[in-house]
Structure 1
Amino acid sequence: MNLLGNTAIVLEGRLFGLDAQLLFDAAITLINVFILFILLSYILFNPVRNMLKKRQDKITSDIEGAAKDKEDALAMKQEYEAKLKAASKEAESILSDARKTGEHNKQRLIDEGKEEAARIIAQANKEAELEKQKVADEVKQQIVVVAAAMASKLVSKSINESDSNALIEETLNEMGDKTWLS
């Protein structure tokens, strides 16, 4: 018991005993941990690093691809906007041409209508003048008939020719120039 007692006495003042065996065990443990770390770095850490490197490369390429796609999309957007502006200008040009054509056709129809109205008015004036002339001729005919009737009455009364002419002239003067002119 003496040996245990001495060990117990030595150990009482310290938490653990720092002896050669403990140092040897600690050195072996450190060597084992170092070897384990080297083995694990080849077995686990390198594949994990490689996987992380591949993932980082993939993310980088995805970001670059997204940036390229964004640039392509912006270029396409600008191209489509330019095409849309060109189409809008073309549509405005077509509408402007259609308005001009419509305005030209409208003016042409108005001019044709005015010409037709003027032609109809001229024709109506001509027909009115002809009708007026016809009426004047009919009035002259009636006057001649009346004058002939008067002349026959005068002849029947045995009036001489100078009296007959004077009577016709007087009748015509009484009817006046207005009858002949209107």
Structure 2
Amino acid sequence: MKYLKDVQEPGMGTWYFEVDHDGTAYRQMVHNDDGSWITSNRKHESRHFLLAEHPLDPKEPYYEEISQAAFEELWQKQLLGGMEDWQRIQRMFPIGARVEGWIEAFFPQGTLIQLLEPHAVGLTDTSALEAGTPAEWMYPRYRVVAEVAGYDESNQWVLLAHAEVPGDQYDEADSGK
């Protein structure tokens, strides 16, 4: 992996990326000029799940390569800010529990599932999900049921196995939200 820093135009903040040898981003952070942060592991109210959709070229002059340690230090500070929520989520979703949510986004790590609990994000294997799901159901908002298999501590995601898409879309009105 490579770690990149990009100082955008004034007012755009500083962007940080973890990319593989092909330039695919796996983690991303933005430190806004107002001091706030956006990280790719959490849904942002206006930026959704912010992660570069196209490969980055680390040779571009606007990218500065930084150390993995520098990236991890910033990432860990952001994880600490959500630690109370993360511990609550782990208690609510014990290993082996059946859970429900909906497809939220597709990342290189897998399919992100918004679980039916604020701030709770699940991750399931995209290939396995596609194998048992018609292509027309592999879109955001389609309902997913799965089993908790573990936890991704580096992203604060609930790892999901045996995920299935029943074929209906999630409707917030049904949940009373």
The structure whose residues are more often strand, as a share, is 2
- The reply to whether TM is greater than 0.5 is no
TM-score normalised by structure 2 residue count: 0.17
TM-score normalised by structure 1 residue count: 0.16
The structure with the larger Rg is 1
